[in-house]
Structure 1
Amino acid sequence: MFQEERLISIVNYLKTNKRITVDLICELYDVSRDTARRDMVKLEEQGRIIRTRGGAILPTLSKEVWNYDERLQSEPSSKINIGKTAAALIQDGDYLMMDSSTTVLHAATAMNAKHNVVVTSSIEIAAILARKKDTTIHMLGGVLDNKHHSVYGAKAIEMLNDYHVDKLFIGTCGITEDGLSAPNEEDCYLVRAMMKHADQVIVLADHSKFGRRLFHRVVGFESIDILVTDQALSPEIKEKLLASEVEIVLAGGENEHD
């Protein structure tokens, strides 16, 4: 087996078994300890593993930060289905708040409710809602993030004090048993401020977000009311969500219960 084939196999083993040792690499691939160590050094240089005493684990911290167009192209069918399911939660006359998530964008696209008022930090969502009749849009002011097509900063947070809505729709970059996480502080501050001005917090997240932990923790599950996703959850994270009385809604399916 060539080294690159072994490296792929080692990473796949770690995805299932969480940890691998030098001795186990020797046993699985019939190589010397020196070869096993070289494999681990190579994987560490590539950022694919974290070396531990006598072995290795997968990194628990996700450092990828995609731009808006890249996020929009990620898991498009899942996001469309989640967006349609989330849009069905919107009633005529609801006052809403929407962040700049690309999954929330699909909820805005699928909206059929009438006479809604929407506060948003997303220039893309504002553009979509501008094409819908009987929808009033309030754009948050502040600094425009060219990479993510959204507004952020102290001015945006200050403006939120002027509003209160029935429902807040947000996305997330990562979900673990500790809650929601994001790659930068500005996202955290704005989302937390939005939560203070909404009666109900609805999180939209496709299956690729689960198990991803990013640098900044946004909130724990106790701060959200509904999670809309596209696949059944692991028993561990489902237990945590239900313990916090979060309603789990599967796109195109029934709600999950105990």
Structure 2
Amino acid sequence: MFQEERLISIVEYLKSNKRITVDLICELYDVSRDTARRDMVKLEEQGLIVRTRGGAILPTLFKEVGNYDERLQAESLSKLTIGKAAAQLIQDGDYIMMDASTTVLHAATALFSRQNVVVTSSIEIAAILTRKEETTIHILGGVLDNKHHSVYGAKAIEMLNDYHVDKLLIGTCGITEEGLSAPNEEDCYLVRAMMQHADQVIVLADHSKFGKRLFHRVVGFESIDILITDQALSSEIKDKLIAAEVEIVLAGGEEQHD
């Protein structure tokens, strides 16, 4: 087996088994310890693994988040399904808040309720809601993030003090057993502030977000009321959510927890 084939195989093994040792690489691929170590060095240089004492694991820290258009295209069918499920939770006359998540964008698109008042940090969501009759839109002021088409900063957080809503819809870049995480502080500050001004917090997250940890922790599961996703959860994550009394809704399916 050539090295490149071996490297691919090692990464695939890690996806299923989480950890691999030097000795196991030697056993699986019939190579010397020096060769096994060279393989791990190569994979680490490519950013595909993190070397640990005597072995390696897959990276758990995700550092890059795509721009708005890239995020909008990623897992688009899953986001569409989740967005439709989220829209069904919004009633006529609800006051709601929406962050700049691309999954929440699909919820805004699917919104069929009437006479809603919506507060949002997303210029894209605001534009979509202008097409919804009898919807009043409040867009937060502040600094415009060109990469993510959203507003952030101290002014946006200050404006939230003027509002209180029935329901908050947010997305997330990553979910682990420790809770939600985001790539930068500004995202954390704004989402936390939004949560303080909503009676119910609804998180929209497709399957690709689970198991991803980013630099900044946003909140733990105790701050969430409902999680909407598109695939059954791992037992570890599900148990943590149930312990925090989070209602789990499987888009297109049944609730996993009452």
Same fold, TM-score > 0.5, yes or no: yes
In structure 2, what residue type is equivalent to 1:191? V
Alpha-carbon distance between aligned partners in 2 of 1:251 and 1:63, rounded to the nearest angstrom: 28
Number of residue pairs matched? Answer: 258
Structure 2 partner of 1:95: 95
Task: Report the 3-state secondary structure (helix = DSSP H, G, I; strand = E; otherwise coil) of the residue aligned with 1:11.
Answer: helix
SS at match of 2:133: coil
- What residue is the counterpart of 1:217 in the other structure? 217
Residue 14 of structure 2 corresponds to residue 14 of structure 1: yes
Distance in 2 (alpha carbons) for counterparts of 1:70 and 1:173: 13
In the aligned structure 2, how far is the partner of 1:18 from the partner of 1:231? Answer: 21
Distance across 1 between alignment mates of 2:228 and 2:185: 24
1:245 maps to a residue whose letter is E
How many Å apart are 1:101 and its aligned residue? 0.1
- Say yes or no: does 1:62 pair with 2:70: no
The match for 1:149 is 149
Q: Which residue is equivalent to 2:193?
A: 193
Q: Give me the whole-angstrom Cα distance separating, in 1, the residues matched to 2:71 and 2:38.
A: 35
Tell me, what secondary structure is at the counterpart of 2:28? helix
CA distance in 1, matches of 2:246, 2:142: 32
Q: Which whole-Å CA distance do the structure 1 matches of 2:241 and 2:50 have between them?
A: 29
Q: What amino acid is the match of 1:116? A: N
For 1:78-93, what aligned pairs fall within 5 Å after superposition?
A: 78-93=78-93
Aligned-pair CA distance for 1:257: 2.4
**What CA distance in whole angstroms lies between the structure 2 residues aligned with 1:175 and 1:65?**
14
- Alpha-carbon distance in 1 for matches of 2:220, 2:144: 27
Runs of 4+ off more than 6 Å? none
Give percent identity, aligned residues only: 86
1:208 maps to what in 2?
A: 208
Tell me the SS of whatever aligns to 1:162: coil
> TM-score, normalising length from structure 1?
0.99
Could you give the per-residue CA deviations for residues 120-169 of structure 1, whole angstroms, max 9, x where no partner exists?
00000000000110000000000000000000000000000000000000
Q: Specify the code of the residue in structure 2 equivalent to 1:178.
A: E
Query: What is the deviation of 1:6?
Result: 0.5
CA–CA distance in structure 2, aligned partners of residues 238 and 44 of structure 1: 31
Give the aligned partner of residue 165 of structure 2. Answer: 165
Cα displacement string for residues 40-80 of structure 1 (whole angstroms, at most 9, x for unaligned residues): 00000001111111111111111121100000000000000
| TM-score for the superposition, normalised by structure 2 | 0.99
For residue 200 of structure 1, report the CA deviation from its aligned partner.
0.2
